[in-house]
């Protein structure tokens, strides 16, 4: 598959020469490596050195020098309308304190729909208008949180049902531990104390298959006494 390894910033290239376009929502424009298909059926692999925020009007340069335009999709957003410049600054402070992606406009702040933040803004005397529009938030520290799957201020940790890997395009740094803060799933993914994670669950299967005891041969010290919340139904033969 042909690759796109270079981003041409909006305004630096002639958009009328685009070979195709990809229309992406806000949460689909923070990418490093992902297969894409344009509206005109041009298929390619976006393959960047690091996760990057794609902006409306950017061009993705293919290996054969064709360029695919990035278009920000219209999506549901809330516009927090201020009374004056001082009020706008106050609203921006409160929203910034919650680390939410926000787009600053002349007399308002555009955010993704969020009933809690919308109610907060009303409580601060702002008007709230819900519209369908392209969402181009300011770049900032929140993008690092996005790379770990955090959804703005709520830290919702959405676990999408896709296989993580170099080509998934989610922007995650695929290192050893996971951020699934669920007590049932968080039972020490790194219990191996320096060993590699049991990706194929070979160790887990072996642990379930036998009962621990002095003669089980598994190498465990069955008198260590600490509780690591092992989530498999074996019996300890103390």
* pLDDT value for 138: 86
Q: Which of 72, 88, 112 is the last residue of a domain?
A: 72
* pLDDT value for 158: 39
Looking at residue 50, which CATH number applies to its domain?
Answer: 2.60.260.20
Q: Is residue 148 part of a domain?
A: no
Same domain for 85 and 55: no
Alpha-carbon distance of 204 to 184, in angstroms, equals: 15
Q: Which of 51, 72, 93 is the last residue of a domain?
A: 72
Same domain for 57 and 18: yes
Same domain for 66 and 9: yes
* pLDDT value for 203: 41
Same domain for 212 and 185: yes
Q: Is residue 142 part of a domain?
A: no
Same domain for 40 and 8: yes
Same domain for 19 and 67: yes
Q: Is residue 55 part of a domain?
A: yes
Q: Is residue 61 part of a domain?
A: yes
Looking at residue 99, which CATH number applies to its domain?
Answer: 3.30.70.790
Q: Is residue 237 part of a domain?
A: yes
Q: What is the full per-residue pLDDT of the chain (238 aa) written as tens digits?
A: 999 999 999 999 999 999 999 999 999 999 999 999 999 999 999 999 999 999 999 999 999 999 999 999 999 999 999 999 999 999 999 999 999 999 999 999 999 999 999 999 999 999 999 999 999 998 765 554 554 443 333 343 334 444 444 444 444 444 444 444 444 444 344 444 444 333 333 344 444 444 555 555 555 555 544 444 444 454 445 4
For the range 136-142, what are the long-range contacts, defined as Cβ-Cβ under 8 Å and sequence gap of 24 or more? 136/26, 136/55, 136/56, 136/72, 136/103, 137/26, 137/101, 137/102, 137/103, 137/110, 137/111, 138/101, 138/102, 138/103, 138/104, 139/53, 141/99, 142/99, 142/100, 142/101
Query: How far does Cα 174 stand from its chain's mean position?
Result: 12
Q: Is residue 155 part of a domain?
A: no
Same domain for 193 and 205: yes
* pLDDT value for 73: 96
Same domain for 233 and 191: yes
Q: Is residue 20 part of a domain?
A: yes
Q: Is residue 225 part of a domain?
A: yes
- In which domain, by residue range, is 87 found? 74-134
Same domain for 66 and 83: no
Closest CA to 70 of 54, 53, 47: 54
* pLDDT value for 181: 45
* pLDDT value for 139: 75
What's the total number of domains in the chain? Answer: 3
Q: Which of 19, 52, 72 is the last residue of a domain?
A: 72
């Amino acid at each position: 598959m042909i690759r796109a390894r270079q981003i041409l910033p909006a305004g630096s290239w002639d958009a009328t020469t685009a070979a195709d376009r990809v229309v992406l929502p806000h949460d689909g424009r923070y990418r490093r490596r992902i297969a894409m298909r344009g509206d005109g059926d041009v298929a390619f692999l976006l393959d960047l050195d690091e996760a990057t925020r794609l902006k409306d009007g950017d061009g993705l340069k293919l290996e054969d020098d064709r360029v695919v335009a990035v278009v920000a999709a219209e999506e549901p957003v809330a516009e927090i309308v201020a009374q004056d410049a001082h009020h706008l600054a106050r609203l921006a402070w409160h929203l910034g304190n919650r680390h939410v992606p926000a787009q600053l406009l002349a007399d308002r702040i555009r955010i993704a729909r969020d009933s809690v933040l919308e109610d907060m803004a009303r409580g601060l005397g702002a008007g709230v208008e819900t519209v369908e529009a392209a969402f181009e938030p300011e770049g900032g520290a929140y993008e690092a949180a996005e790379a770990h799957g955090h959804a703005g201020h709520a830290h919702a940790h959405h676990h999408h049902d896709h296989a993580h890997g170099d080509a998934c395009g989610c922007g995650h740094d695929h290192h050893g531990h996971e951020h699934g803060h669920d007590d049932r799933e968080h039972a020490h993914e790194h219990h191996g104390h320096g060993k590699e994670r049991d990706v194929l669950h070979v160790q887990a299967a072996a642990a379930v298959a036998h009962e621990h005891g002095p003669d089980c041969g598994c190498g465990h010290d069955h008198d260590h006494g600490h509780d690591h919340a092992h989530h498999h139904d074996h019996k300890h033969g103390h």
